[in-house]
Structure 1
Amino acid sequence: MSTIYSTQTVAQRFFAIALVALGLTLVEFVFKGNSAWGADHFDCFDAARCGSRSLSSSAVCLRNRDYTITSTPRNSQVVVLSIHGGAIEPMTSTITQMLTQQYGWSRYDFNAHGTAQCLGQRSNFETLHITAAQFDDPDAIALVNRHLKAISIHGAGDLLRETICVGGRDQAQIQAFIKFIQHHQDKSPYLIQPINAPKSDDKACTALRGIDLLNIVNRNAHRAGLQLELSRSMRQDLVKQTAEAQALRQVVYGAINAAISIQ
């Protein structure tokens, strides 16, 4: 009897320890998840949709002080977006400005430069980042709606230098972008690895697919856009004024132009 009791007790203790370990693992996962992807400080931009949890209704983070918005319509079928510009995902604003200057596209830029009153102890990313599917600035939506094609430039800090997560709902554009990169690798200063995010199981791009219909890049006239997630190193390289940077721009910007040029 004592042997049976002892065995049961050991089993029960083992089971209890296993449950505790599982609980700790789940807690770690949740906290890592929040750290990596973040629960946004603001639920949306537009007060008409999420009320007091919107950025536009904030009395602490103010437009033209903590962030500026540039909406530039041009006589173009294409709009390029940097909704996490300024200090949220650095260099994305500069990249979209370069693209619109080079190709004459319309542009929308949300440029964050939060003051201490807005940020407190948080970063611009932690405070002013609104995920693309919740980014509902009416001016941005109206601008994107008017265009047949849309490209959104994002930054993903955890990516390897050469990796580009190519997402969005337009598979034809995704494939055209990747094909251009592959055919022009010899012109790049280093090997570029474009990944078809919606179709790949690569863990680097799993959460960066950009296929939500409410994603701002997919709110264009035909409801499918092109989303590019660039590593911090590649973003830094793209905005440098060197011969190598120019060669990299010819490949990456050329791939963007090739992708949105397909019918």
Structure 2
Amino acid sequence: MADTYPNFEALQAVEQYDTDYSIIYGLRPSSVLFATPHGGGIETGASELAIESAGENHSYYCFEGRKASGNTTLHITSTNFDEPNLMRMIPKFDYVVTYHGYGDSAVAHTKIGGADNELKERAKTALTNAGFSCEILPYTDPIAGVEPDNLVNKGRRGMGLQLELSTLMRTSLFDVNTAVGRRTTQNATFKAYVKAILSCIPYQSRGR
């Protein structure tokens, strides 16, 4: 399904900040950024994963849908997502990891993409060793995230790691999959998933 808005400027002209969407971020000392352009109610679970992965050491950014329903209208594909705060942030980081979701309620699975081939292999190994189903997408896949203008590849190194989690995979991370529940019922599966991803991300200080 085509996006409702081609870019952030078009979205901002129609949708109301703090009512329909919000933007949250935190800057930390490391050269690692965890982000999602599809947080909140757009692709549920993506915000929580980005924030938890960042912890106290890494930076995070979440564009979040806040509508009671119909948050998919706020989806801007990663090659067109150009919200100014994120665009200013990304070039400062060596490692960019983005969380996304795709529709599959039958299989708990992660599709690994981005242009950082080494990091993709490390993520696959880490997730597999932790007992999670995953695959590295071929470059020809529509959601492989290898395009230079995909936000995940706009960091200092020109390549990043994109993680697409199925509906069932994201649902399994929480005991209660609601806006409030996702903040308060993050379970052992959630913790194990984040731990696996963190284990494959090099920690580097930005000298701050």
Look up the equivalent residue of 1:157 and give its one-letter code. Answer: G
Q: Percent identity?
A: 28
In the comparison of the two structures, how many residue pairs are matched?
195
Q: Which structure shows the higher helix fraction?
A: 1
- How many Å apart are 1:86 and its aligned residue? 1.0
> d(CA) in 1 for partners of 2:51 and 2:147?
25
> d(CA) in 2 for partners of 1:250 and 1:95?
9
Look up the equivalent residue of 2:121 and give its one-letter code. Answer: Q
**Among 127, 131, 135, which residue is 1:181 paired with?**
127
Summarize the alignment of residues 1-263 of structure 1 with structure 2, pairs less than 5 Å apart. Answer: 38-45=1-8, 47=9, 54-56=10-12, 58=13, 60-101=14-55, 104-114=57-67, 123-125=70-72, 127-158=73-104, 160-185=106-131, 192-198=132-138, 206-240=141-175, 241=185, 245-246=187-188, 248-261=189-202
CA deviation map 1:112-148 (0-9, x unaligned): 1137xxxxxx8210x1100000000121011111111
- Larger Rg computed on CA atoms: 1
Kept after mapping to 2: 8 A contact 1:81/1:153: yes
Kept after mapping to 2: 8 A contact 1:145/1:220: yes
Residues 173, 44 of structure 1: alpha-carbon distance in 2 compared, 3 angstrom cutoff: same
Q: CA RMSD in A?
A: 2.1
Kept after mapping to 2: 8 A contact 1:198/1:210: no
Tell me the secondary structure at the aligned position of residue 80 of structure 1. Answer: strand
Q: Which structure shows the higher strand fraction?
A: 2
The TM-score, its normalising length taken from structure 2, stands at 0.85
Q: Which has the higher contact order (CA 8 A, sep 6+)?
A: 2
> d(CA) in 2 for partners of 1:100 and 1:175?
21
The TM-score, its normalising length taken from structure 1, stands at 0.68
Kept after mapping to 2: 8 A contact 1:178/1:255: no
Look up the equivalent residue of 1:193 and give its one-letter code. Answer: S
